[in-house]
Amino acid sequence: MVRVLTLVDAFRLGGAETLIAQLGRVAGTAGFEMDVLSLSPPSEEHSKLEPLLRESGLTPRYLGVRRTLDPRAPRLLANAIKESGADVVHAHLEMAMTLAVPAAKMAGRNAICTWHHVHRALPGRAAWREKLALEVSSRAYRTIFVSEASRKSFADKYRPGKPLPKNWVVVHNGVDLAHFSPGPALMPPEFGVTGRPVVTVLAAQRDFKGITHAVDAWPKVRAARPEARMLLVGSGDEHENLRCQVAEAGLQDDIIFTGARSDVVDILRASDVVLLPSTYGENLPTVLIEAAGCARPVVASRIGGIPDIVEDGVTGLLTPPGDPSAIADALISLLDDPSRRAAMGVTARSHVEQHFDAVNWARQLKSLYEEASVVGVPA
């Protein structure tokens, strides 16, 4: 059985990172063994994924590297790869990809790299880090993009008018649909929303997630459905700005900040609508697949790979990015129509079973792992 060392920048509670926990649940079924390693040392922020990893049967380990240009990093990582007994290394996120390819080569292994976002304009050092990561990851055995929108965005930016590298492939992520499934609606009681209609935004609180537009939309929703509440589940560098925005709008009783949570299945099952109001940068958002797995309808922005998941008017509603009025209208229309919500949820579940099941995703990855484990490492 092929053994894989899965490498990430840190064990944060982000979309790409939580996918690794889901992959761990189905790895054995798909026919491969999986270890997980964080480049960053443990910390409160960089260890939040640990409970989910352990629930998936994985043992989190840390390398203790804080920056990409740490001169010790390639050798430390190469030694960790050898000690793990891995046949192949699978790196997720920029720092991990940049270090994994040379370190895997030093260890006599092939590397596979996955990009989880679409390209967007970046300033200064961030742009340099992305360019470096793409250049390095393109020398891996395979460079995976999780949607065609993602692959095209990087091709348009970095290889305009040139043929795509042969190792650039598209493999859709999947979700463990045995875990993210319809079930009892058990909203945590500490939120104080029992018996009320609930809209949930489950997302990192960063600028591109567009949560500020969800807050701007809420007064219109409240005017139509004053009993409704919105949950903001997650954390991030926009947290304090969002709190100020909510306070200035007088919405403290309507919008509940829950912080990062590990009980997202319960929250999704108990939500009436799941909202993702992103303005740019979205690729194939895991939360929308998870919501569909739990048979929940969604309202989301029509950007990136989101239309691959959400069929407008069938499994949810798509709105223009950055349009609070359109967001409010979509939420109100679903909150006012329970039978439509239920029908959308059933159809959404069927759609992700066909296209985004984690076992199918894992089997596709297994084929790549097996190929990479028997092909020689380029000199």
- Concatenated DSSP letters for 18-48? HHHHHHHHHHHHHTEEEEEEESSPP-TTTTT
Cβ neighbours of residue 108 closer than 8 Å, sequence gap 6 or more: 82, 377
Strands 316-319 and 198-202: unpaired
| Domain that includes residue 248, residue range | 189-355
In a domain, 88, yes or no: yes
Q: Are residues 133 and 149 in the same domain?
A: yes
Q: Are residues 152 and 204 in the same domain?
A: no
| pLDDT the model gives residue 45 | 87
In tens, the pLDDT along 171-217 reads 999 998 999 999 999 999 999 999 999 999 999 999 999 999 999 99
Q: Are residues 150 and 203 in the same domain?
A: no
In tens, the pLDDT along 218-246 reads 999 999 999 999 999 999 999 999 999 99
CA distance 174 to 146: 10
pTM over 0.75: yes
CA distance 25 to 316: 28
Q: Are residues 156 and 195 in the same domain?
A: no
Kindly report the CATH number assigned to the domain that includes residue 304. Answer: 3.40.50.2000
In a domain, 286, yes or no: yes
In tens, the pLDDT along 70-122 reads 999 999 999 999 999 999 999 999 999 999 999 999 999 999 999 998 998 88
| pLDDT the model gives residue 379 | 62
Q: Does the structure show a pLDDT above 70 at 289?
A: yes
Q: Are residues 284 and 150 in the same domain?
A: no
Q: Are residues 196 and 331 in the same domain?
A: yes
The percent of residues in the chain predicted with pLDDT above 70, rounded, is 100
- Give how many domains the chain has, as a whole number: 2
Q: Are residues 148 and 274 in the same domain?
A: no
Other Cβ atoms closer than 10 A to 135: 12
In tens, the pLDDT along 129-153 reads 999 999 999 999 999 999 998 999 9
| pLDDT the model gives residue 198 | 98
Q: Are residues 140 and 207 in the same domain?
A: no
Residue 200, H or E segment: strand 198-202
Q: Are residues 107 and 235 in the same domain?
A: no
